[in-house]
């Protein structure tokens, strides 16, 4: 996968920002470095790329400029051979869209992402300062497998670990040996509870009938008590209603008496009450307002008459205002303050001009104006003076450099003569290139490292095979003999294990059945014996014997017909009749005894069948034991331990007692009376242990065979590498003109490579020295020519300057002095000439200002005199003070005029208000008179009192009506007269006495109802507890269903545990198979980043866990957690680099992107890290974000083809 372009349309602080990574060029590293200062948006770009792949996060931190619904990030992405333009929106669903705004499936990235999610990608190949540390710590956690995260992700197995954890959690939920609570225990407890509940519900039929009759009786008594209590409650309600109505009747009669005391006409309108109050308030307000208006009018007229006026000042006000505060007045004031100073300044300038003229050596008679040069002349002379110093320096430097160039040319010629001695052959460069090519090819192939690894792996494989064969003791032999050995497969062992478990389950079920039947049989016999002892019962045999005796006596009496036989027949007949009557009376008891005897017979038959079943189980156990012994013998170990242990294993004989053993719950006992003999049973634990031992031996055999295969593979690989090393050693020896080596070890190859490198380096140095000497001679010759030309050009420039200076001084007073000839003096006097020109110009400006100030003073004084002639007065000596006094007079006149106008307006307003008040007083008097005449009063106060009386009468009428309605509702009557008639004959004391009696009776009845209700509920609960509706059968069905469910779930639990063990074993084998390549890549990367300070990585076992160890080149080692932070970060990066190459070797790779992860790296290790990234960019795209300028230079040094983008 490759990111060709990233578009930040509306994301973070960016709007329509595009970052183009260009097209990938075959054979060129796809390495990009994005540089930008702090706050330039590198982290925003980093997050935008992840959001494009996985979706914008729900709580995004980059929605501060663009609202969530408008956020958009897009790009041009190549996946496989397909190139797509995509964009990502801030949505819950359908967030990935195409260029035509159609929704695309997130499966677009599935071929390259696989099962990798955002977090896994950030931990692996999308790194910042936080994720490189957290991901590295996760990789280094000792959880039994080194680099489990990398291995799983690279093989597409990232979900297996979580899946196995989930399966383990499900299995532990069903059963965990050390746990106190689990589903297995809960199900067993529920089964036992159902059994106890079934026993409690199983009662006799006669008890059910008695409980039914008891429920009917209690229900009838309860209903009768309810009816009696309801009747008493109705009588109580009636008495309480009459008593509560008596106060209402008294209240109604009192209100009627109060109404009779009022003798008033019809009620006036309700609006009169607030109207009278309003008129009284208005009367007071109008009176007070009339008095206040009279006083205000008198005061306003007096104030208007006392305000003065000044018509002359008002007439000249415009002219005075035009002069006061005008620009002329301001200039007058300025002239008063600055005129003397300006005159003094002019005198000072005249003195400076005289001084400068003296310094120039000129006569006092010369007019200073003639000393002023034209501006173009002054500029030209200044430019020439500035140029002359540079020309002088240039001439001196050119002469010095020309002399140095001559000396350098002679030295280069001498050096070339010295290098010519010992010149290499013409083919030396080709020989050096060929030799370096061989060395580079050998190092790129890592032949010595691979040879060393192959030798070490061969030794490890030999040790592993020896250890594996040792675990097969007491069996002895080699791998070929072990391969020929016929060993049972896992299926056969699993079949035997399942057969043993089935045998144990069958034996346990049969034992439980025997125990249950024995207990039931003992109980039935005890019941039968108790029934026989409780009452003399005529059995069938006794009844038959009595009937036979009666028949014999009858036959004898018929034959003899004498009194003696008649007495005997009568006695026999009476005994027979008595027995018949007794049997009829005991019919139910006889039926129960027959049923019990039948159950006893059935259980005895079941015990016999169970004995036969135990015999079959014993036979099956013997057969299983024989099969296991045969398997042990087929292993051909040469030792009899396993066989003897299997043959001499003790047998168990179980016996089920029908007596004491049944009552004690024991299923095994010695044979005795009433005991069912049971055949031999297998010892489940011992035989399963035996099978486990056989299975372990078979697994060890498979491991030994696998170790033998690994050893063969390692030997073959070592042979191939040895051949390759021998060929390389031959070519190097021939190139170095040395005899070929017989040994081709890794050390020998390294030694030859070092010698070849030294030889090539020496040739290169000699060639470089000659080439450098020739280049130095040519450069010295060229510089000598250049410096001579520069000297001649500097001399010509000085001559041209002198001509220009003479031309500039022509036609000026300078040409008549020595200044034009003496260039150094002219440059010193030129500032004085500039100063004289500035002073002359300043004097001219001062003359103009002094003249203007004097003219402004004269104009202002003239205008002040004209105003004095018009309105009177004299300006005296200070025109400013005179004009200021006139301004104050105009201001006071205007203020007095404005005050008179305001007083006149206020007087008019008060007069209008007085007229309005008079009209309101007329209207008020008319309305008051109308109300007082209607009520027969003279004043509004009397009218208010009359209206209050009317309101009191109306309030009593409303209260009387409410009392009548309350009385009707309480007595349930239509009118108040009916209620009064019903209460007329009521005696309150008699009703109270009767109510007390009724309440006492109601309490007794209520207590009786509660007792009847409790009895009824108790009978109903007792009857419901029996479960006559098949509850016992339902409970038994639930119990059996739970037992079946328990068995099924137990099988699933065992299968799950076995599957987990198999999956973990397979995963371990897979990781072990990939460990060597992974560790080698990580070691090489860490050695490169550290600059050789660490030679590689290895692992050690600590507390059954693998721990990563860094091996120092100087000796010794450190645990990864003991490294410094910077070195630990470099280790984390090395692990990512190794993982990147591992993934790239198996499937399409994602871009590697990192955001300033080298904060703790020094420059050398940063250079090494960039070199590794350059190698990574040859198999996939690499993007590095930084705000450090020096990292750009380091990246160019590591990879000249790196593309640098600036934000």
1191 or 447: which carries more pLDDT confidence?
A: 1191
pLDDT digits (tens, 9 = 90+) for 531-579: 777 656 666 777 788 888 888 888 888 888 888 888 888 888 888 888 7
Cβ atoms within 10 Å of 215's Cβ, excluding its own: 20
pLDDT digits (tens, 9 = 90+) for 211-231: 777 778 888 888 888 888 888
Q: How far is CA 1054 from CA 174, 250, 361, 463, 628, in A?
A: 11, 92, 125, 36, 22
| Cα separation, 553 vs 1042, whole angstroms | 65
Q: Which helix (DSSP H) or strand (DSSP E) does residue 1097 occupy?
A: strand 1094-1102
pLDDT at 865 over 70: yes
- Long-range contacts: 526-529, Cβ < 8 Å, 24+? 527/596, 528/593, 528/596, 528/597, 528/600
Q: Examine residue 1020 and state whether it is found in any structural domain, yes or no.
A: yes
Highest mean pLDDT among 190-199, 600-609, 856-865, 1189-1198: 1189-1198
Q: How far apart are the first and last CA of the chain?
A: 24
Q: Examine residue 866 and state whether it is found in any structural domain, yes or no.
A: no
Q: Examine residue 991 and state whether it is found in any structural domain, yes or no.
A: yes
Q: How far is CA 756 from CA 269, 432, 603, 731, 760, in A?
A: 133, 9, 100, 11, 6
pLDDT digits (tens, 9 = 90+) for 1053-1102: 888 888 888 887 777 666 556 555 677 888 889 889 988 888 888 776 56
| Cα separation, 344 vs 351, whole angstroms | 11
Of the residues 985, 1004, 1026, which one is the last residue of a structural domain?
1026
Largest CA-CA distance found in the chain, in angstroms, rounded: 214
Number of compact structural domains in the chain: 2
772 or 1000: which carries more pLDDT confidence?
A: 1000
Q: Examine residue 1017 and state whether it is found in any structural domain, yes or no.
A: yes
pLDDT at 1107 over 60: yes
Q: Examine residue 828 and state whether it is found in any structural domain, yes or no.
A: no
Q: How far is CA 285 from CA 171, 275, 282, 588, 859, in A?
A: 97, 15, 5, 114, 67
Mean of all residue pLDDT scores within the chain: 78
| Cα separation, 1153 vs 1130, whole angstroms | 16
CA angle, 228 then 229 then 235, to 5°: 95
Q: How far is CA 1034 from CA 187, 194, 1028, in A?
A: 17, 10, 11
Q: Which among 885, 311, 853, 887 is positioned nearest to 876, based on CA atoms?
A: 885
Task: Please name the residues in contact with 744: beta carbons below 8 A apart, sequence gap of 6 or more.
Answer: 722, 725, 726, 729
| 678 three-class SS | strand
Which stretches of 667-763 are assigned E, i.e. beta strand? 675-681
pLDDT digits (tens, 9 = 90+) for 10-21: 999 999 899 999
1120 or 1043: which carries more pLDDT confidence?
A: 1043
Which stretches of 513-627 are assigned E, i.e. beta strand? none
Q: How many CA atoms lie within 13 A of 186 on its CB side?
A: 9
Of the residues 667, 682, 697, which one is the last residue of a structural domain?
682
- Asked if 377 and 825 touch (Cβ cutoff 8 Å), the reply is no
When pLDDT is averaged across residues 420-443 and rounded to a whole number, the result is: 70
Q: Examine residue 629 and state whether it is found in any structural domain, yes or no.
A: yes
The DSSP output letter for 448 is H
- List the beta bridge partners of residue 2: 78
Q: Examine residue 212 and state whether it is found in any structural domain, yes or no.
A: yes
Q: Locate tokens 């602080």: which residue?
A: 13
Q: The tokens of 339 are what?
A: 């005129």
Q: Examine residue 618 and state whether it is found in any structural domain, yes or no.
A: yes
Of the residues 617, 652, 682, which one is the last residue of a structural domain?
682
Residue 995: give the domain boundaries: 206-261+949-1026
Task: Give residue 200's pLDDT band: very low, low, confident or very high (50, 70, 90).
Answer: low
- Asked if 568 and 555 touch (Cβ cutoff 8 Å), the reply is no
């Amino acid at each position: 996968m490759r990111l060709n372009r990233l578009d930040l349309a509306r994301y973070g602080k960016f709007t329509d920002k595009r970052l183009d990574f260009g097209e990938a060029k075959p054979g060129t590293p796809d390495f990009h470095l994005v540089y930008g200062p702090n706050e330039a948006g590198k982290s925003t770009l980093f997050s935008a790329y992840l959001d494009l792949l996985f979706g914008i996060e729900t709580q995004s931190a980059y929605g501060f400029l663009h609202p969530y619904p408008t956020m958009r990030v897009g790009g041009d992405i190549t996946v496989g051979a397909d190139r797509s333009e995509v964009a990502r929106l801030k949505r819950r669903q359908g967030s990935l869209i195409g260029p035509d705004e159609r929704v695309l499936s997130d499966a677009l990235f599935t071929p390259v992402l696989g099962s990798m999610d955002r977090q896994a990608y950030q931990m692996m190949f999308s790194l910042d300062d936080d994720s490189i540390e957290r991901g590295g710590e996760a990789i280094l956690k000792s959880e039994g497998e080194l680099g489990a995260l990398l291995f799983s992700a690279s093989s597409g197995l990232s979900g297996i670990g979580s899946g196995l954890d989930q399966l383990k959690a499900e299995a532990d939920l069903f059963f965990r040996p050390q746990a106190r609570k689990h589903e297995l225990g809960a199900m067993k407890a529920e089964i036992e509870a159902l059994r106890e509940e079934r026993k409690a519900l199983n009662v006799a039929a006669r008890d059910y009938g008695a409980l039914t009759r008891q429920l009917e009786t209690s229900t009838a008594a309860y209903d009768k008590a309810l009816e009696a209590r309801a009747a008493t409650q109705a009588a109580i309600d009636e008495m309480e209603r009459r008593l509560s109505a008596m106060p209402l009747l008294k209240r109604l009669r009192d209100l009627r008496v109060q109404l009779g005391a009022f003798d008033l006409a019809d009620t006036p309108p309700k609006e009169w009450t607030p109207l009278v109050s309003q008129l009284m308030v208005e009367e007071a307000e109008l009176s007070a307002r009339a008095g206040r208006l009279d006083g205000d009018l008198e005061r306003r007229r007096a104030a208007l008459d006392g305000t003065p006026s000044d018509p002359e000042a008002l007439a000249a006000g415009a002219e005075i205002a035009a002069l006061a505060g005008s620009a002329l007045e301001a200039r007058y004031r300025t002239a008063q303050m600055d005129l003397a100073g300006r005159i003094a300044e002019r005198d000072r300038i005249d003195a400076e001009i005289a001084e400068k003229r003296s310094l120039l050596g000129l006569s006092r008679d010369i007019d200073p104006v003639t000393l002023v040069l034209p501006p173009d002349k002054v500029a030209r002379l200044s430019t020439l003076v500035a140029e002359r110093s540079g020309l002088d320096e240039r001439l001196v430097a050119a002469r010095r450099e020309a002399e140095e160039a001559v000396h350098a040319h002679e030295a280069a010629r001498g050096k070339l003569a010295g290098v010519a001695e010992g010149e290499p052959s013409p083919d030396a460069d080709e020989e050096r290139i060929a030799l370096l090519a061989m060395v580079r090819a050998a190092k790129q192939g890592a032949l010595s490292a691979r040879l060393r690894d192959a030798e070490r792996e061969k030794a490890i494989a030999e040790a592993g095979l020896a250890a594996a064969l040792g675990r097969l003791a007491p069996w002895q032999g080699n791998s070929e003999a072990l391969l020929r050995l016929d060993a049972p497969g896992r299926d056969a062992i699993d079949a035997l294990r399942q057969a043993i478990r089935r045998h144990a389950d069958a034996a346990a079920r049969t034992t439980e059945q025997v125990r249950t039947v024995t207990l039931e049989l003992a109980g039935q016999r005890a019941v039968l014996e108790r029934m026989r002892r409780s009452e003399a019962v005529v059995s069938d045999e006794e009844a038959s014997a009595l009937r036979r005796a009666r028949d014999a006596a009858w036959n004898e009496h018929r034959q003899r017909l004498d009194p003696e036989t008649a007495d005997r027949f009568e006695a026999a007949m009476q005994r027979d009749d008595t027995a018949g009557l007794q049997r009829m009376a005991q019919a139910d008891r006889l039926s129960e005894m027959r049923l019990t005897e039948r159950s006893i017979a059935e259980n005895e038959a079941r015990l016999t069948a169970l004995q036969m079943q135990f015999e079959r189980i014993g036979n099956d156990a013997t057969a299983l034991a024989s099969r296991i012994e045969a398997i042990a013998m087929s292993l051909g170990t040469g030792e009899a331990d396993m066989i003897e242990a299997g043959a001499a294993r003790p047998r168990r004989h179980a016996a089920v007692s029908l007596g004491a053993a049944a009552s004690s719950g024991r299923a095994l006992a010695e044979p005795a009376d009433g005991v069912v003999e049971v055949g031999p049973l297998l010892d489940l634990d011992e035989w399963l242990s035996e099978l486990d031992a056989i299975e372990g031996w078979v697994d060890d055999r498979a491991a030994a065979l696998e170790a033998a295969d690994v050893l063969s593979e390692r030997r073959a690989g070592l042979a191939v590498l040895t051949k390759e090393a021998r060929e390389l050693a031959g070519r190097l020896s021939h190139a170095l003109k040395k005899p070929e080596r017989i040994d081709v070890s890794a050390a020998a190859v390294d030694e030859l490579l070092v010698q070849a490198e030294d030889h090539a380096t020496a040739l290169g140095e000699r060639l470089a020295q000659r080439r450098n000497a020739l280049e130095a001679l040519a450069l010295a010759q060229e510089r000598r020519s250049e410096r001579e030309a520069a000297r001649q050009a500097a001399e010509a420039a000085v001559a041209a300057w002198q001509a220009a200076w003479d031309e500039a001084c022509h036609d000026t007073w300078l040409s008549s002095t020595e200044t034009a000839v003496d260039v150094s003096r002219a440059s010193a006097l030129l500032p004085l000439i500039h100063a004289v020109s500035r002073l002359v110009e300043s004097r001219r400006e001062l003359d103009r200002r002094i003249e203007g100030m004097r003219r402004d003073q004269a104009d202002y004084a003239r205008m002040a005199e004209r105003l004095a002639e018009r309105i009177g007065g004299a300006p005296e000596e200070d025109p400013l003070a005179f004009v200021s006094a006139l301004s104050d007079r105009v201001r006071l006149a205007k203020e007095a005029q404005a005050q008179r106008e305001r007083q006149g307006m206020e007087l008019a307003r008060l007069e209008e208000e007085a007229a309005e008040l008079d009209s309101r007083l007329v209207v008020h008097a008319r309305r008051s008179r109308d109300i007082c005449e209607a009520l027969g009063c003279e004043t509004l106060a009397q009218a208010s009192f009359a209206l209050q009386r009317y309101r009191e009468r109306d309030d009593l009428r409303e209260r009387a009506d409410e009392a009548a309605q309350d009385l009707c509702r309480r007595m349930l009557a239509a009118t108040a007269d009916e209620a009064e008639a019903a209460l007329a004959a009521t005696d309150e004391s008699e009703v109270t006495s009767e109510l007390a009696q009724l309440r006492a009776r109601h309490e007794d009845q209520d207590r009786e109802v509660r007792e009847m209700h409790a009895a009824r509920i108790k009978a109903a609960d007792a009857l419901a507890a029996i479960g006559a509706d098949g509850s016992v059968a339902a409970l038994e069905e639930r119990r059996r269903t739970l037992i079946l469910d328990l068995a099924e779930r137990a099988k699933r639990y065992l299968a799950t545990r076995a599957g987990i063990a198999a999956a973990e074993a397979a995963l371990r084998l897979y990781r072990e198979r990939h460990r060597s390549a992974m560790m080698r890549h990580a070691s090489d990367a860490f050695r490169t980043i550290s600059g050789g300070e660490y030679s590689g990585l290895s692992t050690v076992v600590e507390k059954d866990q693998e721990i990563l160890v860094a091996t120092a080149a100087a000796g010794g080692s450190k645990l990864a957690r003991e490294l410094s932070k910077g070195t630990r970060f470099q280790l984390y990066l090395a692990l990512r680099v190794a993982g990147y190459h591992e993934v790239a070797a198996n499937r399409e790779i994602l871009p590697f992107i990192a955001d300033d992860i080298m904060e703790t790296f020094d420059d050398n290790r940063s250079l090494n890290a960039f070199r590794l990234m350059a190698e990574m960019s040859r198999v996939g795209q690499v993007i590095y974000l930084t705000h450090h300028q020096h990292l750009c230079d380091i990246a160019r040094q590591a990879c000249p083809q790196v593309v640098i983008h600036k934000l």
